[in-house]
A and B are shown apart, each in its own frame.
Chain A
Amino acid sequence: DGGITQSPKYLFRKEGQNVTLSCEQNLNHDAMYWYRQDPGQGLRLIYYSQIVNDFQKGDIAEGYSVSREKKESFPLTVTSAQKNPTAFYLCASSISYSNQPQHFGDGTRLSIL
């Protein structure tokens, strides 16, 4: 089945630690996105990538980093610089530069210890 796979489902971060969230898609989509969702708020864009080896900051990129070395993979690293990392992280993909909507993975819940 085609889809977007995020792992792990739950993740705990210690003080000063970097953690990496995985996102893989087999939809052959060019564009991939990372969002953060906090209670009572809409999804906010962290980073996006329109094509392999290219990515751009979204609205809340500080404290996060990404890479896009392969079309199907777009991992997100939450660095120790992100002081409030507890949230629900969602990865999405879409056909690039079109009006197609984005489709989401099932998310990773990150908490700090």
Chain B
Amino acid sequence: RKEVEQDPGPFNVPEGATVAFNCTYSNSASQSFFWYRQDCRKEPKLLMSVYSSGNEDGRFTAQLNRASQYISLLIRDSKLSDSATYLCVVKSGGYNKLIFGAGTRLAVHP
């Protein structure tokens, strides 16, 4: 079983739609959680950290469920510019080791 698992997609949604991605992780001792965005053939960029109480940044909402060991990302009012691959990232262990999911691809169409 992979340490971090994501549905690869693609999720094809129209502009204005709401879309949600889930990600599961296997290590219950994981400490920190992040969503990164990666455009085609570019480097990953931090989208948001995920806090235990859940957090929101504009149209983006992240949730953490420690009991079930999953995190989610909700995107409201999708824009064409949201088309990208979204990477679920989990920090485990005593040093700053990040475990990356393979990503979920989102395609927003007009």
Residues of A near any B CB (own CB < 8 A): 31, 35, 40-45, 48, 50, 88, 90, 94, 96-107, 109
Contact = CB atoms under 8 A, between A and B. Distances in A.
B87 interface: yes
16 contacts: A35-B100, A42-B2, A43-B87, A45-B97, A48-B97, A90-B44, A97-B95, A99-B32, A99-B91, A100-B96, A101-B89, A103-B46, A104-B44, A104-B45, A106-B42, A106-B43
Contacts of B4: 42
A107 B40 CA distance: 12
A42 B43 contact: no
Interface of B: 2, 4, 8, 31-32, 34, 41-46, 49, 87, 89, 91, 95-103
Q: Chain B interface mostly helix, strand, loop or mixed?
A: strand
Contact of A40 (B8, B41, B91, B100): B8
B96 A41 contact: no
Contact of B43 (A44, A50, A107): A107
Contact of A90 (B43, B99, B102): B43
